[in-house]
């Protein structure tokens, strides 16, 4: 299926690693020009180079998204380079373990800036260009807003905010023909996830325990599977889809866990 993404300029925050990297690479394969926005120029350029080696095009902007002014500067840099923005993927964030017992006001607020405030700011600053292009917004969110996790109050709150903003923006932007959707991620294998599981006493056993609870295939979701869904939602092939929270998770959140071992 031709997703009609050729030469579309699509910002992907946190596009240098994990799910963001997967989205960048799939968009480039579809002919789009993804723009990585992330704090590390070295990491950004590695992915740009990988895309170019594979025959695609990509661009990068260095920005520390926890700083509001950096969000505006990043958007301005993209407009200066290309003259337009055709889509926005809000993806950057980290599950930083700021819990109710373990955290405090300063850590909680800092986590919100890491995980949801820049979602709002990037959409706000990109909106004039998105109105011109009728470009879609895609928010990457986490199942923690649905299920809880424990010891991650700030991250769960941020993801609840991401989900709410998805529906709020879908309503507010109807008049401009801008679609807004979210992909809700559960257990997806990324470098961050791998680093986390390596900190546990028996990583292999813990991974098997987690995979056993994922109904479809008893395996982790891949970044490419998230990315494939993202590319579709960013394309005109999903032209009548808006305000949706789509779980790409092998049934982890909504199916009976008893099915996992059936």
Can you read off the two tokens belonging to residue 261? 């071992």
Does the active-site annotation cover 176?
no
State residue 142 phi and psi, 5-degree precision.
Answer: -125, 150
Residues 231, 228, 183, 255: is their CA dihedral positive or negative? positive
Can you read off the two tokens belonging to residue 170? 């879908």
**Residue carrying the six token digits 């011109």:** 132
Distance of CA 173 to the CA centre of its chain: 20
Say if strands 33-38 and 9-13 run parallel, antiparallel, or are unpaired: parallel
List the catalytic residue out of 155, 176, 193, 252: 155
Distance of CA 58 to the CA centre of its chain: 17
* Whole-angstrom distance, CA of residue 242 vs CA of residue 107: 33
For residue 10, the SS3 value is strand
Report the candidate in 254, 84, 246 with the shortest Cα–Cα distance to residue 180.
Answer: 246
Enzyme catalytic residues: 155
């Amino acid at each position: 299926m031709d997703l009609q993404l050729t030469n579309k300029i699509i910002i992907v925050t946190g596009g240098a690693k994990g799910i963001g990297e997967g989205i960048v690479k799939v968009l480039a394969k579809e002919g789009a020009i993804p723009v990585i926005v992330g704090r590390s120029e070295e990491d950004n350029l590695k992915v740009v180079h990988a895309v170019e080696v594979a025959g695609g095009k990509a661009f990068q902007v260095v920005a520390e998204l926890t700083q509001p002014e950096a969000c505006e500067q990043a958007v301005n840099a993209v407009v200066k380079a290309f003259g337009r923005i055709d889509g926005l993927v809000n993806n950057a964030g980290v599950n930083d373990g700021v819990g109710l017992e373990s955290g405090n006001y300063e850590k909680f607020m800092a986590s919100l800036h890491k995980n949801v405030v820049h979602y709002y700011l990037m959409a706000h600053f990109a909106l004039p260009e998105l109105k011109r292009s009728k470009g879609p917004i895609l928010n990457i969110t986490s199942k923690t807003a649905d299920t809880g996790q424990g010891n991650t109050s700030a991250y769960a709150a941020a993801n609840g905010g991401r989900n709410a903003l998805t529906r709020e923006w879908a309503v507010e932007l109807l008049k401009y023909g801008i679609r807004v959707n979210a992909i809700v991620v559960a257990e997806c294998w990324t470098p961050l996830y791998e680093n986390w599981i390596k900190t546990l006493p028996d990583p292999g056993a813990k991974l098997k325990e987690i995979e056993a609870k994922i109904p479809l295939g008893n395996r982790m979701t891949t970044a490419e599977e998230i990315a494939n869904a993202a590319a579709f939602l960013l394309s005109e092939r999903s032209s009548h889809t808006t305000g949706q929270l789509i779980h790409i998770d092998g049934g982890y959140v909504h199916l009976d866990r008893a099915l996992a071992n059936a």
